[in-house]
């Protein structure tokens, strides 16, 4: 592995434009379970019955009780781990421009990354399903479930549910960043959900080098990953950043 990290560090330190694509795996070491694989949320509950927009419209109380409330408890406690901090370090080194994240936990911004595209929206805000008014999740009174807007409408997270479109602005910016980078670091995603899973292919089709960080192989690993650093984000990122810093030091 050390030589793979050195190889990745060499390419990253020489790159002109580096973009990261992250998934639930980067937040596992912050105490947020992934959706698929070991301990995955969708191994216990069927996502189509609780995380689809039709389920939310049909039975908002059940979706709030089963999915949203439990997610909020976990997200309130979560703090950035060494994986998030490593990406913030790469931005500070002037190496990493943009993080495209599928996560709604806000941990990249908390770690210090300044250009984060929230591909699946965010849990930090709620939106009224009647009047579309936005309110910060931390300001929402959760004693009544589902919580209501001042207008009487029901609130929902500003996150993208299955069956919903990716916000146009986030999709367009992600496609542009993916097409223009010369390295994409893909961390902690099973790359199963479209259109997020297409971003590494957009990068690859524009001659980017794909560096994957994941303890398990994914559908990207054998198809387009140029370097596959097998391990957890929290263990690999600090070593990768250290190796990049060493290469950037004046000789
Ligand atoms: N470090 C890095 N990767 C990890 C770690 C870790 N510590 N632990 C697990 N992983 C990897 C798993 O091997 C898996 O490949 O993270 C990936 C998590 O995959 P998913 O749970 O499918 O998460 P993600 O790819 O982000 O899911 C995409 O699906 O349900 C929707 O909207 C949801 O944004 C989510 C989307």
Ordered structural domains, the chain, with CATH: 1-32+80-120+166-251 (3.40.50.1220), 33-77+121-159 (3.30.1600.10)
Ligand 1 centre to CA of 91 (Å) is: 22
CA distance 123 to 104: 5
Q: Write out residues with Cβ below 6 Å of ligand 1.
A: 23-26, 28-29, 34-37, 40, 47, 102, 120, 187-190, 192-193, 213-216, 218, 232-234
Q: What pLDDT, in 10s, does the model give residues 7-38?
A: 999 999 999 999 999 999 999 999 999 999 88
CB 36 within 8 A of CB 199: no
pLDDT at residue 119, as a whole number: 98
Question: Rounded to two decimals, what is the model's pTM?
Answer: 0.97
Ligand 1 centre to CA of 190 (Å) is: 5
Question: Is 120 in the active site?
Answer: yes
Q: What residue owns the CA closest to ligand 1's atom 21?
A: 35
CB 39 within 8 A of CB 193: no
Q: Which atom of ligand 1 is nearest to the CA of 213?
A: 2
Q: What residue owns the CA closest to ligand 1's atom 26?
A: 23
CB 80 within 8 A of CB 110: yes
Q: What pLDDT, in 10s, does the model give residues 170-226?
A: 999 999 999 999 999 999 999 999 999 999 999 999 999 999 999 999 999 999 999
DSSP state letter for 162: B
Ligand 1 centre to CA of 36 (Å) is: 6
Q: What residue owns the CA closest to ligand 1's atom 15?
A: 190
Ligand 1 centre to CA of 250 (Å) is: 37
CA dihedral 56, 58, 60, 64 (to 10 degrees): -60
Ligand 1 centre to CA of 23 (Å) is: 5
pLDDT at residue 102, as a whole number: 98
1 pLDDT higher than 70? no
Exposed (0-12), middle (13-18) or buried (19+): which is 147, by Cβ within 10 Å? Answer: buried
Q: What pLDDT, in 10s, does the model give residues 153-181?
A: 999 999 999 999 999 999 999 999 999 99
What Rg, from alpha-carbon coordinates, does the chain have? 19
Q: What is the DSSP string of 22-49?
A: E-GGGGGGGT---SSSTT-GGGTS-HHH
Give me the mean pLDDT over the 75-93 stretch: 97
Helix (H, G, I), strand (E, B) or coil at 160: coil
Q: Which atom of ligand 1 is nearest to the CA of 35?
A: 21
Give me the mean pLDDT over the 63-77 stretch: 93
Q: Hey, which of 27, 41, 189 would you mutate to test ligand 1's pocket, going by the most ligand atoms within 8 Å of its Cβ? A: 189
pLDDT at residue 46, as a whole number: 94
Give me the mean pLDDT over the 94-120 stretch: 98
Q: Hey, which of 22, 25, 55, 163 would you mutate to test ligand 1's pocket, going by the most ligand atoms within 8 Å of its Cβ? A: 25
pLDDT at residue 79, as a whole number: 98
Average pLDDT, the chain: 96
Percent of the chain with pLDDT over 90: 96
């Amino acid at each position: 592995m050390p030589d793979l990290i050195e190889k990745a560090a060499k390419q990253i330190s020489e790159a002109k434009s580096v973009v990261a694509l992250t998934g639930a795996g980067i937040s596992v070491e912050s105490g947020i379970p992934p959706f698929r694989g070991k301990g995955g949320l969708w191994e216990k509950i069927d996502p189509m019955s609780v995380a689809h927009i039709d389920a939310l419209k049909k039975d908002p109380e059940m979706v709030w009780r089963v999915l949203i409330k439990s997610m909020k408890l976990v997200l309130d406690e979560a703090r950035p781990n060494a994986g998030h901090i490593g990406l913030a370090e790469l931005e500070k080194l002037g190496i990493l421009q943009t993080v495209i994240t599928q996560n709604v936990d806000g941990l990249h911004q908390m770690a210090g990354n300044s250009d984060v595209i929230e591909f699946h929206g965010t849990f930090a805000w709620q939106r009224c399903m009647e009047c579309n008014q936005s309110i910060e999740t931390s300001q929402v009174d959760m004693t009544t479930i589902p919580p209501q807007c001042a207008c009487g409408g029901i609130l929902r997270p500003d996150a993208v549910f299955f069956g919903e479109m990716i916000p146009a602005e986030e999709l367009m910016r992600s496609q542009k960043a993916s097409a223009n980078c010369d390295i994409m670091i893909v961390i902690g995603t099973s790359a199963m959900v479209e259109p997020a899973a297409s971003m590494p292919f957009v990068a690859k089709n524009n001659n980017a080098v794909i560096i994957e960080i994941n303890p398990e192989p994914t559908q990207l690993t054998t198809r387009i990953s140029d370097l596959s650093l097998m391990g957890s984000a929290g263990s690999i990122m600090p070593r990768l950043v250290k190796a990049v810093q060493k290469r950037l030091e004046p000789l």
